């Protein structure tokens, strides 16, 4: 079903009304609408870019572009999907600029680590931290399209359909990227390290 007007019929009323007001030029409504996703979007940018300063800059740019394009949003996807797609496009633009650099792109391993679960004993916590660092490095070494696929599907936990839409490719192409990314990360980390996860 297509939305004929600026308001998406599937949206909750609060989001739909905020969207309508934002599309009418209400900056405050746009902020309230988008702030619900700001933390998650920032985390996505941190994972894709690996640099906090750059992620902050790109997050501002994403919100600006969303504001500038809000009148074109017709609700054919969720607002979240639309916003995430802008974020991925902006991150890829930054990563493409970086591609000319001779050295590998650091992915901010420290920022990407999670605290090890408290229930683990110290030796398992150490293994866990080491694995997280290795994962962060391996993610950072992936070409941007593969990194995006892995982050959207496995880290963010989005469905293949939604992740493919955000990445701007068909589902078959997205899956191909995802599988390539997993094979490369597995090769980079090694089965022995993965065996320690107990997953």
Contact set with another protein (CB under 8 A): 22-25, 27, 30-31, 34-35, 38-39, 41-43, 46-47, 56, 59-61, 63-73, 82, 86, 111-112, 114-115, 131-132, 135-136, 150, 154-157, 175, 178-179, 182-183, 185-186, 189, 191, 194-195, 197-199
**Backbone φ, ψ for residue 96 (5° rounding):** -65, -35
Q: CB-wise, 101 or 176, nearer to another protein?
A: 176
DSSP string, 74-110: -SSS-HHHHHHHHHHHHHHHHHHHHTTSSSPPP--HH
Tell me the C-alpha distance between 50 and 61, whole Å. Answer: 17
CB of 27 to another protein, least distance (A): 3
CB 140 within 8 A of CB 105: yes
Cβ contacts of residue 49 below 8 Å, gap of 6+? 55, 58, 91, 94, 95, 108
Q: CB-wise, 102 or 117, nearer to another protein?
A: 117
Q: CB-wise, 102 or 121, nearer to another protein?
A: 121
CB of 31 to another protein, least distance (A): 5
CB of 12 to another protein, least distance (A): 21
């Amino acid at each position: 079903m297509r939305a004929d007007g600026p308001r998406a019929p599937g949206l909750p009323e609060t989001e739909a009304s905020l969207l309508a007001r934002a599309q009418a030029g209400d900056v405050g409504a746009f902020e309230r609408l988008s702030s619900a996703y700001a933390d998650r979007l920032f985390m996505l940018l941190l994972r894709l870019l690996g640099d906090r300063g750059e992620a902050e800059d790109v997050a501002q740019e994403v919100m600006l572009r969303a504001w500038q394009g809000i009148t074109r949003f017709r609700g054919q996807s969720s607002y979240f999907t639309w916003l995430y797609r802008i974020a991925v496009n902006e991150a890829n633009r930054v990563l493409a600029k970086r591609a000319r650099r001779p050295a590998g792109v650091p992915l901010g391993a420290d920022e990407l680590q999670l605290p090890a679960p408290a229930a683990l004993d110290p030796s398992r916590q150490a293994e866990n931290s080491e694995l997280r660092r290795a994962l962060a490095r391996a993610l950072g070494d992936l070409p941007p399209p593969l990194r995006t696929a892995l982050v959207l599907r496995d880290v963010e936990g989005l469905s293949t359909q939604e992740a493919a839409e955000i990445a701007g490719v068909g589902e078959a192409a997205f899956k191909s990227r995802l599988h390539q990314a997993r094979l490369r990360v597995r090769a980079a980390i090694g089965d022995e390290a993965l065996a320690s996860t107990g997953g």
